[in-house]
Structure 1
Amino acid sequence: MSYGIGFGMVYAALRIAGIDIGTSLVAQPLFLALTNTVGFGLPLVFGVLYQKARFSQVLPLRRPRPPLLVLAIAVTIMGAVVLSSEVDNLTRMFFPPPDWVVNMFGRIGDTRAYPIQSGFLLVVVAPVTEELFFRGLILRGLLSRYSSSCAVLLTALLFTVIHLNPWQFFSAMLLGTLLGWWFVRTKNLTVCLVGHAFANGLVFVQPFIPFEVQGFNTDPASSTPGQFQPLWFDAIGLLLFLGGLLIFQLACRRNTKTDTLVLT
């Protein structure tokens, strides 16, 4: 909803200025970055002001401690991306998306056409705006009313719905749950920002990988329905995911400093 509001405001401003917006402009990464910033930025500012709290209280941004935490995030996200890709293959086999959906998200996700702009949108704008809004404002509010597990899952569901792509439900839900759990454990939004940026960064570099893994970074033009990743690749993804979770647990145990989450 927030993204839709942002899109509507930017669209209205362009129309008032006499600028005709077509489908090609909608797929422009910089246009998406602008609508994303407006759509999430305005509710975020209003939400913080409404709570009459300092930004540092609502949005706790600190350097991740210990450094092992960053390794845990990277390893877990790499595994999650591999597993999500395979679930996406399975979903598309049983529920093939219509051509208009493929074309629309294909234009938006065409990182080769706009490499710099796409990288800026995926690795900078999206993580910053979405994490401050979902894990900062929304999750913080839900934690004051519900249990940690319920708050994390509700926030992840909202995060999934806002992406408007039912065929990526699992990947968005998994990422949202991971980020929410990390925030609950660390009380540090920087951890969520790093994780989200790393996940989007892996998606961004997929088309540029110099070798091809079937079902993972296969050229969409040559891929066929029901094409899956090699079992060894799935096994690596599972090991990375579980190993990353284990490293995260160890990193949290080593961090003896207790942070307090303000829920007023």
Structure 2
Amino acid sequence: MARSFTALSGISRNRLAETVTPLEPIGGAWALAAVAPLGVTLLVITAGYAVGGGTDPGFPPHFPTLCYGVANVAVVAALFAAWERERFEVVARFRRPSRREVATGLVATVVGVVVGWPATTVLADGLGVARYTPPTLTTTAGILAVGFGAVVVAPVAEEILYRGLLVGLGLERGHGPLAVGVASLIVFAVAHVFTGGVAGVLNALLLGSLLTWLRLRFDNLVGAWLLHALNNLLELLVGLALVPSLYAL
């Protein structure tokens, strides 16, 4: 199964394994850093309700997105400070991309939007859950929060933590690309249940499949970052009512 996957996907298991050797000395507990931003965000929101005696603390509508973005920056900065440069560059694998990687990232963006967005709606309707819709943005604070958290921070930090750290640790410990790719994809998708519900998980699974394949195919995060950034930018424009949404069938 794994061998046929690598043959069909063009992913070299040996090449991937060679690039993650600097991660050998660190413990597997570092994988928890990938979900730390989500944990911090939930802790802050829970603390707000606790201080208010269980009542709505009155957080701004897009406060969780902003908090999650700040937590992502803090966690990535902590990894940078704690690790040697060579080790950090393994998980923050942003090398100069080839023309093929950039072109593939752009094609994947088109596929993710034209196919993935409507597919998310079809799956949500089939499961009888609320459809996924990008947040409607009507205030400057909301635009800045979503722009910072979802467009600027997430495409960099989430790629480092999910497809850099989690994938890198799994590969270093001898697991195959298919296994580590699926594992990181599941964690990435489940993390989006708090911002998009079940449909948000479906959307993250579809988009994340392309992101994971790009990371493994090119042993680089630039193509995945490009797709991630463009997808989130388009969702921001949908939220501003500047472009039509393909989530609405």
**Which TM-score bucket, shorter chain as reference?**
0.5 to 0.7
Taking a change above 3 Å as real, the CA distance of residues 120 and 4 of structure 1, as seen in their structure-2 partners, is: closer
- SS, match of residue 61 in structure 1: coil
Segment drifting more, 76-85 vs 129-138: 76-85
**What residue is the counterpart of 1:135 in the other structure?**
163
Taking a change above 3 Å as real, the CA distance of residues 53 and 14 of structure 1, as seen in their structure-2 partners, is: farther
How much does 1:94 deviate? 3.0
Taking a change above 3 Å as real, the CA distance of residues 25 and 57 of structure 1, as seen in their structure-2 partners, is: same
Contact 1:40 1:133 in 2 (8 A): no
Distance across 1 between alignment mates of 2:57 and 2:117: 27
Match of 1:90 among 108, 122, 128: 122
Question: Which is higher, the Rg of structure 1 or of structure 2?
Answer: 1
Deviations 1:18-55 (A, max 9, x none): 9x9946525325x5223343267438845994799532
How much does 1:57 deviate? 3.0
**What residue is the counterpart of 1:74 in the other structure?**
106
Contact 1:127 1:193 in 2 (8 A): yes
**What residue is the counterpart of 1:259 in the other structure?**
none
C-alpha RMSD over aligned residues? 3.6
Distance across 2 between alignment mates of 1:211 and 1:141: 39
Unpaired segments ≥5 residues, structure 1 = 219-227, 229-264
Distance across 1 between alignment mates of 2:127 and 2:46: 35
How much does 1:97 deviate? 3.0
- What are the within-5 Å matches in structure 2 for residues 43-192 of structure 1? 45=78, 49=82, 54-66=87-99, 68-97=100-129, 109-113=135-139, 114-144=142-172, 145-164=174-193, 165-192=197-224
Q: Percent identity?
A: 21
**What residue is the counterpart of 1:258 in the other structure?**
none
Contact 2:65 2:146 in 1 (8 A): no
Distance across 2 between alignment mates of 1:181 and 1:127: 15
- SS, match of residue 54 in structure 1: helix
Taking a change above 3 Å as real, the CA distance of residues 23 and 59 of structure 1, as seen in their structure-2 partners, is: same
Contact 1:127 1:196 in 2 (8 A): yes
Deviations 1:188-223 (A, max 9, x none): 22222222111111212124565757xx265xxxxx
Distance across 2 between alignment mates of 1:36 and 1:119: 10
